[in-house]
Chains A and B, each alone.
Chain A
């Protein structure tokens, strides 16, 4: 009993170290979307710069990214060039213009280039709310049957694409010349 008791504080300390090291490697801002594994929530939103509107069913048939962006969002400007690059590689990116002024959004796309297959306008953020968006930029992966597979909060970079997003596309896009 006695020799065991002597090492008790050391054991407690080691346990604490393990817990703290684990705590350091966790990112509390990384929340899994509550919509993972569910189909895209219903929406009926106008298309930016066009007269038509889109429903959830229209965004199916192939894996795609849904990028939540707005002109008021600084980080969106940072990730924009990489989105253009992805679009050139043949990745389908749908834009969700989130709580923004459509006029400004059109100017933005004119000035910086348009990586989006199409962009829908969610002016009051109601579709964003249904999707569980809490800011911009956010990027969702939907599969061919428009089920939400992944959510990335923050800027999409090459590293994010390679590590988190590209696995969802490999099956469908190998013919499209994807690295």
Chain B
């Protein structure tokens, strides 16, 4: 019984995420592109939602635009440029590379280089320490051998 209830709840919550209107597409490929685009475009009004999830009137308009332009044969690039012209870079969840986003895009690379540098220096330090300690050990052993009495 509980299991059944849980299943129902899961289905309900999935339904509440779905958007209100559905569009007919002439090809399945267009539909896939529509889904991808509407998840990548950000609602300007309700800032932390993409237009696929948002109920705001502006998101409905933007979805209609995306649908209309896809059917008219526009490329993804053209649709994004159309919207960026009107609503700014803000509508993109994956912003383009410009002077504002240079740090954003290069940060992973910089962090990776820094991490590699830290790991390398640590490894080198450890190796030096090991050499030193094994050298000291060998010296001790030699001393024992020749002096007979280590004390």
> Contact at B84–A129, with CB atoms within 8 Å?
no
Given the contacts A31-B44, A99-B57, A125-B61, A131 and B86 also touching, CB distance less than 8 Å: yes
Q: How far is the CA of A109 from the CA of B47 in the complex (A)?
A: 32
Interface segment, one of A32-40, A43-51, A163-171: A32-40
Given the contacts A29-B47, A135-B58, A129 and B86 also touching, CB distance less than 8 Å: yes
Chain B residues with CB under 8 Å of A35's CB are 86
> Contact at A31–B90, with CB atoms within 8 Å?
yes
> Contact at B88–A33, with CB atoms within 8 Å?
yes
Q: Return the contact of B45 from the options A33, A125, A131, A134 (Cβ within 8 A).
A: A134
> Contact at A34–B57, with CB atoms within 8 Å?
no
The answer to the question of A23 belonging to the interface, with a C-beta cut-off of 8 Å to chain B, is: no
Q: Return the contact of A31 from the options B56, B65, B84, B88 (Cβ within 8 A).
A: B88
Q: Which of B24-46 contact A (CB under 8 A)?
A: 44-45
> Contact at B58–A28, with CB atoms within 8 Å?
no
Q: How far is the CA of A135 from the CA of B58 in the complex (A)?
A: 7
Q: How large is the interface on B (under 10, 10 to 19, 20 to 34, 35 or more residues)?
A: 10 to 19
Given the contacts A99-B57, A125-B61, A132 and B88 also touching, CB distance less than 8 Å: yes
Given the contacts A28-B47, A31-B44, A129-B61, A134 and B88 also touching, CB distance less than 8 Å: no
The answer to the question of B87 belonging to the interface, with a C-beta cut-off of 8 Å to chain A, is: yes
For A28, give the chain B residue with the smallest CB separation.
B47
For B88, give the chain A residue with the smallest CB separation.
A34
> Contact at A34–B86, with CB atoms within 8 Å?
yes
Chain A residues with CB under 8 Å of B58's CB are 134-135
Residues of A within 8 A of B (CB): 28-29, 31-35, 99, 125, 129-132, 134-135
Beyond A31-B88, A33-B88, A134-B45, 15 extra complex contacts between A and B, CB < 8 Å: A28-B47, A29-B47, A31-B44, A31-B90, A32-B88, A34-B84, A34-B86, A99-B57, A125-B61, A129-B86, A130-B86, A132-B87, A134-B56, A134-B58, A135-B58
Q: Which 3 A-B pairs have the closest CB atoms?
A: A34-B88, A134-B44, A134-B58
